[in-house]
Amino acid sequence: MADTTPSLGPVLLAHARTAIAGRLKQAADSAPDHPALHAPGASFVTLSLKGCLRGCIGQLEPVRSLGEDVRQNAIAAAFHDPRFLPLSLDEWPHIELEVSVLGPVQYTACPSLAKCLEQIVPFEDGVILASGVHRATFLPQVWEQLPEPEQFLAHLLTKAGLAAGTWPANMKLGRYRVAHYA
């Protein structure tokens, strides 16, 4: 995981905000530099409006520098999340931003719900479920809305396009931790 010192949070949030403001053709302060921005990193950027999800896009594995990842994910969350219309200029002043920097993902075979429940740490683990072409993740912050592990996994199965109550024998479980900045 990239350097996740407390000083990094405001820098990442500034980069996300500047990227979105630029797409909206709005003036924004220039975002400060930080050494961690230049190292490979994986992030998710989450937008909220009046306490409700308004967009969330990210990467599970580092594919570019952390700074570029945050900027691209911020733009994608604001304008390309398929669950929402593109962010409007009227919404922009009311948007709250979060940036999550992901640590490495640890994958294991998970042939049953019971085996999966044994491995996850509620309120700490981000979770990926993957089976064939089906794959979905919830950041650790989602535990706040879905605190029961069985319920958490049922919703994640649905998000992955799998029927709740089913468990494919080829299921893989991915677990990761995040440094979260809001």
pLDDT given for residue 35 in this prediction: 93
Closest CA to 100 of 143, 38, 131, 57: 57
Residues 88 and 13 in one domain: yes
Is 1 contained in some domain? no
Dihedral sign computed on CA atoms, order 33, 34, 39, 41: negative
Residues 89 and 168 in one domain: no
* Whole-angstrom distance, CA of residue 79 vs CA of residue 22: 12
Q: How many domains does the chain have?
A: 2
Per-residue pLDDT of the chain (182 residues; tens, 9 = 90+): 555 676 899 999 999 999 999 999 998 888 899 999 999 999 999 999 999 999 999 999 999 999 999 999 999 999 999 999 999 999 999 999 999 999 999 999 999 999 999 999 999 999 999 999 999 999 999 999 999 999 999 999 999 999 878 899 999 999 999 999 99
Residues 70 and 49 in one domain: yes
pLDDT given for residue 166 in this prediction: 86
Which amino acid appears at position 173 of this protein? Answer: L
Final residue of a domain: which of 83, 102, 121? 102
Residues 13 and 96 in one domain: yes
Residues 91 and 13 in one domain: yes
| Residue 126: CATH number of its domain | 3.30.1490.150
For helices 8-23 and 66-79, the axis angle rounded to 10 degrees is 50
Residues 14 and 97 in one domain: yes
pLDDT given for residue 97 in this prediction: 97
* Whole-angstrom distance, CA of residue 101 vs CA of residue 182: 12
Residues 87 and 32 in one domain: yes
pLDDT given for residue 137 in this prediction: 96
Residues 48 and 122 in one domain: no
Its domain, for residue 164, covers: 106-177
Residues 122 and 93 in one domain: no
Which amino acid appears at position 180 of this protein? Answer: H
Final residue of a domain: which of 46, 70, 102? 102
Residues 84 and 142 in one domain: no
Is 124 contained in some domain? yes
Is 2 contained in some domain? no
- Dmax over CA atoms of the chain, in Å, equals 52
Is 3 contained in some domain? no
Final residue of a domain: which of 102, 137, 161? 102
